[in-house]
Amino acid sequence: MAVFRDVMPAFDLLQPDSVAEATRLLDQNGAGAWIMAGGLDSFDWLKDRIKKPQVLVDLSGIGELKGIRVSSDGVEIGAMTTLTEIADHPAIQKNYSVLSDAVSVVASPQIRNQGTLGGNVSQDTRCWYYRGGWPCYRAGGNICYADTPVGRNREHAIFGADRCVAVHPSDSAPALIALDAKFVIRSAKGERTVDAEDYFIGPDVDITRLNILGPGDLLTAIRIPAAWSGAKFYFEKIRDRNVWDFPLMNVASAMEVNGGSISRIRIAASAVAPRPMRLRNVEDAVTGKPANASTGEMAGNLAVQGAVPLQFNGYKIPLMRNLVKRAIAGAPEAA
């Protein structure tokens, strides 16, 4: 018998016009509140009736969460700034092109016009078992349907699985990690700032969520320090279709080269693990080495050490090896 999920569950719609009011409402409603940014991930959950919040806090009316502010220290991007605004911003294109490159390949133009940076980094995983309402580990059950002999796991993790093998789907996340971005979080208790890579968590920490936001927390801004302004950048996304699709894998890097050798580098990948993955072992190994194909080959081989493929995603190992190689050897020409 067909199951029809075409009517959203009932909830109270709250539309604050300030960060202070939003944090008050989130604190007041606790775990019963659902935060909506651009709405693209939220509406999927609500239309399928998988998530049933008591209240929905719509952030679209909060002007202080929008916009890009440039200073000598870098840039601050409001969490409600659209992906299109970021992709088209001259300062981002000139100084932090790895981010503009990343957000410009998210989904489709229509989605980028509506989707926000805060929403892109905070969206939930796209595993179809989980999104379809199957009682998997992440949904409170006692099985990972993707990690079974009959599971379909072509898009799933080759690193960091702990009961759940779903991957993080964000395109902007690895670029922000490469840029050493800081995420600003507000709550009724005040404001705190965390490194981009620490914003995301895996199932070994909490299998029910992909980031550190708890009840009452609100991501308000993302700050990119000037330290990486104008570095040699690389971003590449592999997907089944040229538009609309989530990544099968993406890799982002920021690198400085002096005298032909890599003086410093940050490199990260997404859609290979339950959280965006910073490749620290690669960074350490290539620092001081020439930015050439030989170093890239070594980096690619190192990047896939410890990978554990599932039945249908073994292709991700040579794919990741090649993307990391290109991030090293191709970055000087990819600024």
pLDDT in tens, 156-215: 999 999 999 999 999 999 999 999 999 999 999 999 999 999 999 999 999 999 999 999
Q: Which residue, among 101, 86, 96, has the nearest Cα to 236 in the 3D structure?
A: 101
Per-residue pLDDT, 48:
79
Cα separation of 31 and 328, whole Å? 43
Structural domains of the chain, ranges and CATH numbers in brackets: 12-61 (3.30.43.10)
As given in the structure block, the two tokens for residue 230 are 């104008």
Across residues 304-318, what is the average pLDDT? 98
- Higher-pLDDT residue of 330 and 238 is 238
Per-residue pLDDT, 331:
45
Which stretch of DSSP H or E encloses residue 5? none
Question: Residue 6 — very low, low, confident or very high, per pLDDT cuts 50/70/90?
Answer: low
Q: State the DSSP string of 7-35.
A: SPPP-EEE--SSHHHHHHHHHHHGGGEEE
Q: What is the pTM of this model?
A: 0.95
Per-residue pLDDT, 4:
53
Q: State the DSSP string of 144-171.
A: -TTSSTT---TTS-SS--BSB------S
Q: Which residue, among 140, 134, 272, has the nearest Cα to 209 in the 3D structure?
A: 140
